[in-house]
Amino acid sequence: MPTDSTARPVVLRQRYTLWQQVRANMYGRLPLLLETLIALGLIAALFVVDSVFFLHHGSATLGDALVATLGLLALQVPNIGHGDQTTLTLLAFNLLFSLLFAQSVLNSLRALFTKRSFALQQQGLAAVLRGHLIICGLGRLQIRAAVRLVEEGYAVAIIQQDDDSPLLQRALALHIPVIYGNAVAAQTLRLAGIQHARAVLAIIDGDLIDVEIALAVRALRPNIRIILRAFSEDFDRGLEKVFGPNTAFSASALAAPTFAVAAVTRHVEQVVRLGDELLAVVPIAVPHGWDQAAKLEATQGIRILARLPGPAADRLFALAPLPALNRLPADATLPHNSLDAAYLTPTATHDRIIICGLGKIGYRMVTLLQQVQPRPHIVVMHLDDGEASFAEEIAQMEGVEVIAGDAHTESGLQQAGIARAITVAAVTADDQLNVQIGLAARRLHGDVHVVLRVFQRQLADSLADLFGIHTAFSTSDIASATLTAAALTPNVSQAFYVNERLFAVAEITAQAGDALAGRTVAEVRQGQQVHVLRRRRQDETLVLPDDATLIAAGDGVSITGPIGGVESFLRQQNRASPR
């Protein structure tokens, strides 16, 4: 049976212990404090010298000598009976040390109470972090990954080239230290705490820059985990040969399956891609006390990941193949099912999906929708702005029509056949244009399903009421889940969120004596609190295998679960692996 899950409290900012705060506050002040300690040592030595001198020149006891020493430090000339020259020399010597001590004390007070520069404050916070993750850059993808990590309770430091990022205040509000400098420079990496970091995310918008950062990091820490952002799949595979498997990811490749499936369904939250199989994360409403989860899994071929109690009904979060979405509404055990008409099937009068925009997301959507059955007619609208290479390639695909035109005008949408459209997906790189396209589509065809690509999660959330639940998605929001999980745990190929909890998908090979080999899918879930999503054995691949499926040594297995559970499971697997 799936484990019930409730919403966990969201961490609003990065936490520091009291000792870390004290250490961070002392950063940059230590040279002056060290100077004070040296002065204190010298004044103590002066006490010893003066006291010894007075003991040998008239003081009967050590107490008398200390009193005489204090008087000398107060510039009271002692009667030592050795002439004016000796008196003046001793007085000058003490006066010099008194001035040195006073100056050192003043410097220390200034160091403690004078506000440090912004850069020193940030460096101080980074210096006290241990086991943290370093994110290079401060764009939308980076800040979303940082938020994800902080929400999960992990510490983060950010390296930013300059202070002109509009997202700087967002990072500071999270109490994340921002280190200014070039992430390729060793000194900048050291200021960000590379020597104590757990992983580095080199996910700046530029493949070659990310590679330079990765090489600079490896020069300082050869074995540290590095996550890179790659725009080309061929480049992605090449990078993984150098830096290891599951280290290079394309944001568009991670996000495109969700956009593609959202174009043919109404309730998808995110999509997991296992080879050619697309699995949708969907919510299902059930009555309080409903206890047929195991039956639902067995009859519909889905996997229930979590259950969230609600005031009117409970919500199950399920991972389901696309054909299952069309079967769920007919199941008699779900009288309050929220998935009515979830799957949008082409008909004789409504047979097409209009994709507006032909960048990497649009191109990948077309290739993925080619695999959907029944396959809709696909119309791609794009501005004639240099994307002709994509246009020429997809125009050769069966059932795909390419139109150069302006999709946010009524005439452009009518040219694309809006009256026959099931879905209009606006996936250009311009938020405002995508919203305009969605509004124009709804004016012309009030029942059309609208899917929007936006870059800010807040905008996606605010558009939900306007365009329907979960039809606006942020590419950086989707991609950041995988980048975050992969940085935390090796073997993670992708990740997604279920009820604000990060679920990771890990690829492992079962070995004799471990927690997988010799166990059924049900036994793995009950004993390890992870779900088996796929079993690969020679030429046979089972996606969402039933509970009775046996896993043998040598099987390739895809598992999923909350990131903490997957981390724990992988550590156990590593301990069980033969050395």
- Concatenated DSSP letters of 232-283: SHHHHHHHHHHH-TT-EE-HHHHHHHHHHHHTTBSS--EEEEETTEEEEEEE
H or E stretch at 300: helix 293-300
Q: Choose the CATH number for 352-476 among 3.50.50.60, 3.40.50.720, 3.40.50.300, 1.20.120.1630.
A: 3.40.50.720
- Among positive and negative, which fits the CA dihedral 65, 71, 75, 78? negative
Beta-strand relationship, 248-249 and 449-454: unpaired
pLDDT of residue 337: 44
Give the list of residues 6+ apart from residue 388 with CB closer than 8 angstroms, or none: none
Q: Which amino acid is at 182?
A: N
Beta bridge partners of residue 421, listed in sequence order: 352
Residues in the chain, total: 579
Cα 578 off chain centre by? 32
Give Cα 319 distance to the centre of its chain. 22
Please give the CATH topology (third level) of the domain spanning 489-576.
Answer: Alpha-Beta Plaits (3.30.70)
Phi, psi of 225 (to 5 degrees): -75, 135
CATH of domain 119-249: 3.40.50.720
DSSP E strands, 333-448:
352-356, 377-382, 400-404, 421-426
Report which DSSP code applies to 494: E
CB-count exposure of residue 7 (10 Å: 0-12, 13-18, 19+):
exposed
Q: What pTM value is reported for the model?
A: 0.82
How many whole angstroms separate alpha carbon 487 and alpha carbon 248?
Answer: 10
Quote the pLDDT of residue 340. 47
The answer to whether 531 and 562 have CB atoms below 8 angstroms apart is no
Task: Determine the pLDDT at residue 576.
Answer: 64
pLDDT, position 469? 43
- Pairing mode of beta strands 225-229, 199-202: parallel
Pairing, β 519-520 against β 550-551: antiparallel
Q: Using DSSP, state whether 73 is helix, strand or coil.
A: helix
Contact between residue 361 and residue 355 where contact means Cβ atoms under 8 Å apart = no
Of the candidates 294, 300, 336, the residue with the CA atom closest to the CA atom of residue 315: 336
Q: Which residues, given as ranges, of the chain have pLDDT below 50? A: 1-9, 82, 329-341, 387, 469
**Residue 56 CB: number of other CB atoms within 10 A?**
9
